[in-house]
């Protein structure tokens, strides 16, 4: 009798445990921040494997360099006529350059969060319809960052950040032993000098160093002698509808001079790496968080600014804002190679982990570019996805881009734009009306991506004029 009671009691306990797990799936039964390893191609937790990873010999150091607000078509190594970037150009010659890299969001803090977590913005910080543009973006502690992973397996970790919007309040400091940032904004020389000092005192053990320079971001305020570096160079700009061409030309000149200033101090960091004898065991990754538009696509007045915006970002999803430079150099990385495959900035994290032979979680949403680098694949993505929601501007848009076409969907105005990128690379001619079938196909790609990466995110896609709208409604995305 007693055995029968114990048996029934055991069954009851088991049932309660099962119910609790399925009824409350967000309860953390263990802390995923503490240990990282690979089992069945996912992160799991055993001290033995952790110790093995932490004691690996000949670990590659990792240096991640972000130069803010840089369009690749304003760098010499991407074919720009002005010689804006000699040090970045040299890095490209010594490594591999990606010609079709894109950010998943053209806003500084959110782009860096996606970079460090390999997670799309609509997953880690969804916004409700008609959300106010607060300027605040935060990554919650539940998301594992690149720094946390590398710290867990024995790396020293340090970040040197040039702007307060990426202060520890953003959550970007997760996993860093040292998180050095500016209250307000500081120039790249201060940031990189501080990073070089840290490097001199910490290079003898494996390290992950992230350096962020804000220099090309507006307002363009280039110091001497950079303030007159490109004044006499004539460039011509097609497909620009801005009436004040002189103001546009001056803005672009100032922007290019700020890129050159940022490039100089990136050169100092690269020289320090070389002087310390680290070239042969250091992986160097260079990219930007987003680009900048210069009147190619006029945007409406907002936040008290003038009716015509000469330069800005975080408003549109045209290539001028979302295409970014991406260069990688290090042991085993081909020199002077160019890769045309489509990649996203969330692909950087799995690429680094892949190169370090550190397990990559199936929870991340990026794809390693190593198959492209090693010529084992010609493509890892058939399209790239970019999203823009109310952060500093009131716009809510998403885009799907292949090499041939691009769809931009405006969630608030319920409007689609479709561009033939082969015939119209400047994205000036909307061919949506003539190609509704193709538009629906791209809308379907957008829906599939959302389905794949989230179960209940309240992304505000109000209505898509296609047969796919019903699927979005079933997912809870149409309000």
pLDDT on residue 382 = 95
Give every strand in the sheet of 156-160, ordered side by side: 178-180, 156-160, 207-213, 61-67, 282-287, 323-329, 96-102, 337-344
Using CA atoms, how far apart are residues 318 and 425, in angstroms rounded to an integer?
Answer: 10
- Give tens-digit pLDDT for 401-419: 999 999 999 878 888 999 9
pTM of the model: 0.82
Please report, in tens digits, the pLDDT of each residue of the chain (479 residues total). Answer: 455 554 444 544 443 333 333 332 332 222 344 444 444 344 443 445 555 666 665 689 999 999 999 999 999 999 998 899 999 999 999 999 999 999 999 989 999 999 999 999 888 876 655 666 666 778 888 899 999 999 999 999 999 999 888 889 899 999 999 999 988 888 888 999 999 999 999 999 999 999 999 887 766 677 666 565 666 555 545 444 445 566 677 778 888 989 999 999 999 999 999 999 999 999 999 999 999 887 777 664 444 444 445 566 667 899 999 999 999 999 999 999 999 999 999 999 999 999 999 988 888 999 999 999 999 989 999 999 998 877 666 778 899 999 999 999 987 888 899 999 999 999 999 999 999 899 989 988 887 887 787 654 344 333 334 444 443 344 333 32
Q: How many Cβ atoms are within 10 Å of 30's Cβ, its own excluded?
A: 9
Strands 207-213 and 61-67: parallel
Kindly state the DSSP code that residue 222 receives in the 8-state scheme.
Answer: P
Please name the residues in contact with 161: beta carbons below 8 A apart, sequence gap of 6 or more: 167, 172, 179, 180, 181, 182, 191, 210, 212
**Residue-range domains of the chain with CATH:** 52-381 (3.40.720.10), 396-475 (3.30.1120.10)
Largest alpha-carbon pair distance within the chain?
98
Judge contact between 68 and 371, C-beta under 8 A.
no
pLDDT on residue 32 = 43
Using CA atoms, how far apart are residues 117 and 48, in angstroms rounded to an integer?
Answer: 25
Using CA atoms, how far apart are residues 14 and 318, in angstroms rounded to an integer?
Answer: 54
Closest CA to 151 of 208, 87, 99: 208
């Amino acid at each position: 009798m007693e055995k029968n009671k114990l048996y029934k009691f055991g069954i009851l306990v088991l049932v309660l445990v099962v119910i609790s797990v399925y009824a409350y799936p967000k309860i953390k039964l263990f802390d995923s921040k503490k240990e990282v390893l690979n089992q069945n191609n996912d992160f799991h937790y055993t001290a033995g494997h952790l110790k093995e990873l932490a004691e690996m010999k000949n670990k590659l150091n990792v240096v991640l360099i972000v130069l803010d607000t840089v369009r690749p078509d304003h760098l010499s190594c991407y074919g720009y006529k002005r010689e804006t970037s000699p040090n970045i150009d040299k890095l490209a010659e010594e490594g591999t350059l990606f010609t079709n890299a894109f950010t998943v969001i053209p806003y500084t803090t959110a782009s860096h969060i996606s970079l460090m977590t390999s997670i799309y913005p609509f997953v880690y910080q969804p916004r409700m319809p008609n959300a106010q543009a607060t300027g605040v973006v935060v990554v919650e502690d539940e998301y594992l960052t690149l720094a946390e992973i590398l710290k867990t397996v024995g790396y020293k970790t340090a970040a040197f950040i040039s702007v307060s919007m990426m202060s520890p309040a953003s959550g970007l400091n997760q996993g860093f032993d040292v998180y050095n940032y500016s209250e307000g904004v500081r120039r790249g020389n201060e940031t990189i000098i501080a990073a070089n000092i840290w490097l001199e005192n910490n290079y003898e053990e494996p390290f992950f160093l992230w350096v962020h320079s804000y220099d090309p971001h507006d307002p363009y305020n280039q110091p001497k002698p950079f303030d007159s570096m490109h004044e006499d160079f004539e460039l011509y700009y097609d497909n620009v509808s801005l009436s004040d061409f002189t103001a546009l030309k001056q803005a672009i000149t100032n922007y290019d001079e700020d890129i050159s200033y940022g490039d100089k101090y990136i050169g100092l960091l690269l020289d320090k790496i070389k002087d310390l004898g680290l070239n042969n065991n250091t992986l160097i990754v260079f990219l930007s968080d987003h680009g900048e538009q210069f009147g190619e696509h006029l945007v409406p007045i907002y936040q008290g600014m003038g009716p015509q915006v000469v330069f800005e970002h975080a408003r549109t999803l045209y290539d001028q804002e979302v295409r970014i430079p991406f260069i990688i150099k290090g042991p085993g990385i081909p020199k002077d190679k160019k890769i045309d495959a489509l990649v996203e900035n969330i692909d950087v994290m799995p690429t680094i982990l892949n190169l370090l032979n550190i397990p990559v979680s199936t929870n991340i949403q990026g794809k390693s570019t190593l198959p492209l680098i090693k010529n084992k694949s010609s493509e890892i993505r058939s399209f790239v996805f970019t999203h823009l929601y109310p952060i500093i501007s009131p716009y809510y848009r998403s885009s799907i881009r292949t090499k041939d076409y691009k769809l931009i969907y405006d969630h608030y105005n319920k409007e689609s734009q479709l561009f033939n990128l082969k015939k119209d690379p400047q994205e000036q001619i909307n061919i949506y009306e003539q190609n509704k079938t193709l538009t629906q196909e791209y809308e379907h790609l957008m829906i599939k991506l959302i389905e794949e990466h989230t179960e209940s995110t309240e992304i505000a896609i109000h209505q898509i004029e296609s047969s796919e709208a019903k699927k979005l409604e079933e997912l809870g995305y149409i309000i």
